[in-house]
């Protein structure tokens, strides 16, 4: 494959990665030389850099057609540009929400922001991956940054435990992925996803084994049952701000991973991976929803809720149909937006004697902090799938596409799982409004963070009122 | 002919060193045998004209990894007898794995269905062919993006390692070099003017 020489002009579609790479170096250096003011300079500079990168991606990096760069390693299309922008937004919001928490807990050091940016770079790389090599590098860039972030609060024993579990399981997943990739390379002689997409029609037993290994790794990264063991530990062990980061933007990366690797690269014969994904999705829906009922910690509950939601996203891919893919994209976006909000509330709902760890800490939030309680109620309604919030439409589109492709029993299971899930989401609302809390005073006042959180929830509600905007967007991106 | 003689000479040394790694009782001897293993396999790679890989093997594995290994072995006081207890209990597993691995190797060599004949060896390369040039060209043109990403990955590793391990504990006694250099006599010595006492 010979292409025209690399020029500055030809690198335009890759501006997101290039500018983000530069931004990482700038933030890292600024943090070193800012001296005593680094406490304020680094977080602010990070947000400015994120905004600048997003702006450059829109103005310089926007592409209309599929553009392949770097000798087939990199692809830029409208989906990749959009996923990157979603990544910029969610990491930016996550960092913005976390700032008061980080100051309160004394978790300071510019490395936090830098590692969040490198994780974002990994997401961007995955969104534009067009080769097994770039897929792997993107995953590692994302995962390594997240491992370090989980362990960032070094005085916390549970955080260290969660980080070790995450690291070991993640390393196994990376090994599985590499194993599958090396088998694919041995069988087809190519790393390029364009070429894989054409050869994968003819396959034997070796091909099936290779794809199985790859799907297992994908399930690990997504946190689908039975590869979900790290999810509750990381969500509850890591600092809340890191749990917020881990639960949002990487889901966009996981979506990109499935879209690029399975749907596009191995898409000639979707039957190869649909069966495995079906098992994973059914187990995730059942285990996630039922185990979440038994949780007493809000973060563990959100973790099992994440597992159940991953089951829903996988259901969209099972249809092996554009309508399912676009429903999966819409579900991922709505899920990320809603989770940003709900973890944002957890960050702000601290008590005078500590963080809001247990579900009991939300008792009486309705009187203690009316705004936060209303926001949490909207978010819980959305996640439970109550109209008119965006979560309802996301679930509806998935079920519609399942019915459209004759997966009736899966659709029935999805509805059943949603009903079970509604119980523990609504329980949070019950606690907030109908149970008396121990404490009646407002603890954390963060007008800016509260304002952003309110906008976030308004977006969730707004997308619920005007679902056609989201559907049209996803349709134009996924075809 | 000469190549064949060289190959068998170094292959024999390699196998002998490999046996040495697993049989020697002293961990330092085992580590040094491993160094010999790496060196001889580097020579074998040289024979199939993979000179870049051969040199990298010597530089990275012998020069860095094994030195680190030896450091650890020498610094940790490993009680070998303690480690060896219960060793024979799992010997059957070891033999089983060995059997499977040997069967697999024989299977690959005997069966040529895979489309690559491992017994033939690599085709000789034209004179003037440089491994390092070819690798360098590939890495910095076709794979430039992947190389940059790998560099980023290393940067992440550095940042993560430093941020997780570098810590200032309270009460830790450290030298502040710049303060030491900038010190002046006046900071350390206080000259006290005193009235002389009258002689009794």
pLDDT tens profile A282-335 = 999 999 999 999 988 889 999 999 999 999 999 999 988 888 999 999 999 999
Vertex A85, ends A81 and A89: CA angle to 5°?
A: 170
DSSP annotation of A189 reads S
Kindly state the tokens that stand for A159: 């955080």
- 3-state secondary structure (DSSP) of residue A192: strand
Q: Do B141 and A71 touch (CB under 8 A)?
A: yes
Kindly state the tokens that stand for A200: 């994968």
Q: Cα–Cα distance between A181 and A75 in angstroms, integer?
A: 19
Kindly state the tokens that stand for B167: 């810590």
> In whole angstroms, how far apart are CA A442 and each of A348, A351, A365, A371, A430?
10, 8, 9, 11, 19
**How much is the pLDDT for B153?**
94
- 3-state secondary structure (DSSP) of residue A472: helix
CB atoms within 10 A of CB B138: 13
Reported ipTM: the value is 0.89
Residues of A in contact with B140 (CB under 8 A): none
**How much is the pLDDT for A361?**
82
Q: Do A140 and B152 touch (CB under 8 A)?
A: no
> A111 to chain B nearest CA, in Å?
7
Q: Do A115 and B160 touch (CB under 8 A)?
A: yes
DSSP one-letter string for A378-430: HHHHHHHT-TTSHHHHHHHHHHHHHHHTT-HHHHHHHHHHHHHHHHHHHHHHH
Nearest CA in chain A to B149: A137
Of A118, A133, A138, the CB nearest to B156: A118
Per the CB < 8 A criterion, the answer to whether A285 and A414 are in contact is yes
> A128 to chain B nearest CA, in Å?
12
DSSP annotation of A435 reads S
In a domain, B145, yes or no: yes
Task: Give the H/E segment covering residue A75.
Answer: strand A74-76
For B72-106, what is each residue's pLDDT tens digit? 888 876 666 666 666 677 888 889 999 999 998 88
Residues of A in contact with B145 (CB under 8 A): 14, 69-70, 73-74, 134
**How much is the pLDDT for A132?**
93
Q: Do A21 and B148 touch (CB under 8 A)?
A: yes
Residues of A in contact with B162 (CB under 8 A): 111
**How much is the pLDDT for A6?**
66
For A382-409, what is each residue's pLDDT tens digit? 999 888 899 999 999 999 999 999 889 9
Question: Per-residue confidence at B125, pLDDT binned at 50, 70, 90?
Answer: confident
Give the residue among A333, A309, A331 at the shortest CA–CA distance from A401.
A331
Evaluate if residue B189 carries a pLDDT over 90. Answer: no
| Residue whose pair of structure tokens reads 């994440």 in the numeric block | A306
Question: Per-residue confidence at A2, pLDDT binned at 50, 70, 90?
Answer: very low
- Give the residue with greater pLDDT, B198 vs A128: A128
Of A6, A74, A111, the CB nearest to B159: A111
Whole domain around residue B158: which residue ranges?
A: 130-162
Residues of B in contact with A133 (CB under 8 A): 143, 146
Measured in whole angstroms, the distance separating CA A328 from the mean position of its chain's CA atoms is 13
Q: Do A148 and B144 touch (CB under 8 A)?
A: no
- 3-state secondary structure (DSSP) of residue A438: coil
pLDDT > 90: percent of chain B: 30
**How much is the pLDDT for A1?**
39
Interface test with B, best of A74, A118, A242 (most B CBs within 10 A): A118
> B191 to chain A nearest CA, in Å?
35
Per the CB < 8 A criterion, the answer to whether A119 and A149 are in contact is yes
Per the CB < 8 A criterion, the answer to whether A138 and B151 are in contact is no
Per the CB < 8 A criterion, the answer to whether A218 and A227 are in contact is no
Mean pLDDT of all residues in A402-418 = 91
**How much is the pLDDT for A245?**
93
Residues of B in contact with A144 (CB under 8 A): 153, 156-157, 160
**How much is the pLDDT for A265?**
86
Count Cα neighbours of B94 within 13 Å in the Cβ-side half-sphere: 6
Number of compact structural domains in chain B: 1
Q: Do A125 and B163 touch (CB under 8 A)?
A: no
Measured in whole angstroms, the distance separating CA A261 from the mean position of its chain's CA atoms is 17
pLDDT > 70: percent of chain B: 86
> B73 to chain A nearest CA, in Å?
24
For A207-257, what is each residue's pLDDT tens digit? 888 889 999 999 999 989 889 889 999 999 898 899 999 999 999 999 999
Q: Cα–Cα distance between A219 and A314 in angstroms, integer?
A: 9
Size of interface A-B (CB pairs under 8 A): 68
Evaluate if residue A365 carries a pLDDT over 90. Answer: no
- 3-state secondary structure (DSSP) of residue B193: coil
Evaluate if residue A87 carries a pLDDT over 90. Answer: yes
> B118 to chain A nearest CA, in Å?
15
Query: What are the b/e assignments for A389-405, b being 16+ CB within 10 Å?
Result: bbbbbbbebbbbbbeeb
Evaluate if residue A94 carries a pLDDT over 80. Answer: yes
Query: In whole angstroms, how large is the CA radius of gyration of chain A?
Result: 21
Kindly state the tokens that stand for A51: 């905004």
For B128-152, what is each residue's pLDDT tens digit? 788 888 888 988 888 999 999 999 9
**How much is the pLDDT for B83?**
65
In a domain, B185, yes or no: no
- Give Cβ neighbours of residue B195 (< 8 Å, ≥ 6 apart): none
pLDDT > 90: percent of chain A: 52
Nearest CA in chain A to B150: A137
Q: Do B152 and A118 touch (CB under 8 A)?
A: yes
- What ranges do the domains of chain A cover? 270-479
- Give the residue with greater pLDDT, A94 vs B24: A94
In a domain, B7, yes or no: no
Evaluate if residue B118 carries a pLDDT over 60. Answer: no
Kindly state the tokens that stand for A383: 């996640």
Q: Cα–Cα distance between A302 and A424 in angstroms, integer?
A: 10
For B31-44, what is each residue's pLDDT tens digit? 899 999 999 999 99
> A34 to chain B nearest CA, in Å?
17
Output the average pLDDT for chain A.
88
| Residue whose pair of structure tokens reads 């057609």 in the numeric block | A65
Nearest CA in chain B to A29: B159
Q: Cα–Cα distance between A332 and A394 in angstroms, integer?
A: 9
**How much is the pLDDT for B25?**
80
Nearest CA in chain B to A3: B142
| Residue whose pair of structure tokens reads 């829903």 in the numeric block | A312
């Amino acid at each position: 494959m010979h292409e025209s020489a690399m020029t500055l002009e030809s690198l335009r579609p890759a501006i997101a990665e290039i500018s983000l790479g530069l931004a990482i170096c700038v933030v890292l250096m600024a943090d070193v030389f800012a001296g005593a003011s680094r406490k304020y300079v680094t977080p602010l500079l990070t947000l400015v850099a994120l905004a600048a990168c997003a702006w450059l991606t829109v103005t310089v990096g926007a592409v209309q057609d599929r553009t392949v760069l770097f000798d087939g390693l990199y692809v830029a299309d409208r989906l990749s540009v959009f996923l990157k922008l979603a990544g910029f937004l969610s990491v930016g919001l996550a960092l913005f929400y976390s700032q008061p928490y980080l100051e309160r807990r004394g978790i300071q050091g510019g490395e936090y922001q830098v590692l969040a940016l490198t994780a974002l770079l990994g997401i961007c790389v995955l969104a534009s991956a067009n080769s097994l090599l770039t897929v792997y590098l993107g995953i590692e860039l994302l995962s390594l940054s997240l491992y370090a972030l989980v362990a960032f609060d070094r005085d916390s024993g549970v955080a260290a435990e969660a980080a070790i579990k995450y690291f070991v399981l993640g390393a196994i997943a990376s090994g599985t992925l590499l194993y599958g990739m090396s088998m694919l390379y041995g069988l087809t002689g190519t790393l390029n996803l364009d070429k894989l997409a054409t050869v994968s029609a003819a396959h034997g037993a070796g091909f099936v084994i290779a794809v199985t290994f790859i799907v297992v790794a994908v399930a690990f990264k997504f946190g689908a049952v039975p590869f979900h063991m790290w999810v509750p530990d990381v969500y509850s062990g890591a600092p809340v701000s890191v749990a917020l980061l881990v639960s949002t933007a990487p889901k966009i990366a996981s979506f990109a991973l499935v879209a690029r690797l399975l749907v596009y690269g191995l898409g000639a014969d979707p039957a190869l991976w649909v069966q495995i994904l079906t098992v994973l999705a059914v187990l995730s829906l059942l285990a996630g929803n039922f185990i979440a009922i038994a949780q007493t910690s809000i973060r563990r509950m959100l973790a099992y809720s994440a597992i159940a939601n991953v089951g829903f996203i996988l259901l969209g891919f099972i249809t092996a149909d554009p309508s399912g893919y676009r429903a999966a994209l819409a579900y991922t976006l709505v899920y990320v937006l809603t989770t940003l909000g709900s973890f944002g509330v957890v960050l702000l709902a601290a008590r005078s004697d500590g963080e809001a760890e247990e579900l009991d800490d939300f008792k009486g939030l309705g009187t203690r902090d009316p705004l936060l309680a209303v926001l949490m109620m909207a978010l819980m309604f959305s996640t439970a799938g109550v109209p008119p919030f965006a979560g309802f439409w996301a679930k509806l589109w998935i079920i519609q596409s399942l019915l459209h492709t004759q997966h009736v029993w899966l659709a029935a299971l999805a509805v059943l799982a949603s009903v079970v899930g509604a119980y523990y989401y609504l329980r949070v609302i019950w606690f907030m409004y109908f149970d008396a809390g121990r404490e009646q005073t407002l603890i954390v006042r963060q007008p800016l963070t509260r304002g952003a959180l309110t906008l976030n929830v308004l977006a969730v509600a707004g997308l619920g009122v005007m679902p056609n905007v989201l559907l049209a967007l996803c349709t134009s991106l996924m075809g | 002919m000469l190549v064949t003689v060289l190959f068998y000479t170094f292959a024999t040394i390699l196998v002998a060193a490999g046996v040495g790694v697993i049989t020697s009782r002293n961990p330092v001897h085992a580590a040094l045998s491993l160094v010999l293993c790496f060196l001889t396999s580097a020579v074998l790679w040289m024979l199939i004209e993979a000179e870049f890989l051969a040199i990298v093997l010597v530089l990275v594995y012998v020069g860095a990894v094994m030195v680190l290994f030896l450091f650890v072995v020498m610094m940790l006081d490993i009680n070998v007898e303690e480690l060896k207890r219960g060793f024979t209990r799992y010997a059957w597993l070891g033999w089983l794995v060995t059997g499977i691995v040997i069967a697999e190797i024989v299977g690959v060599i005997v069966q040529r269905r895979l489309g690559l004949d491992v017994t033939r060896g690599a085709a000789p390369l034209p004179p003037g062919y440089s491994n390092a040039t070819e690798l360098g060209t590939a890495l910095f043109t076709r794979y430039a993006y992947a190389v940059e990403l790998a560099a980023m990955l290393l940067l992440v590793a550095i940042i993560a390692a430093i941020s997780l391990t570098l810590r200032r504990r309270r009460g830790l006694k450290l030298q502040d070099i710049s303060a030491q250099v900038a010190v002046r006599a006046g900071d350390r010595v206080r000259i006290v003017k005193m009235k002389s006492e009258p002689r009794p």
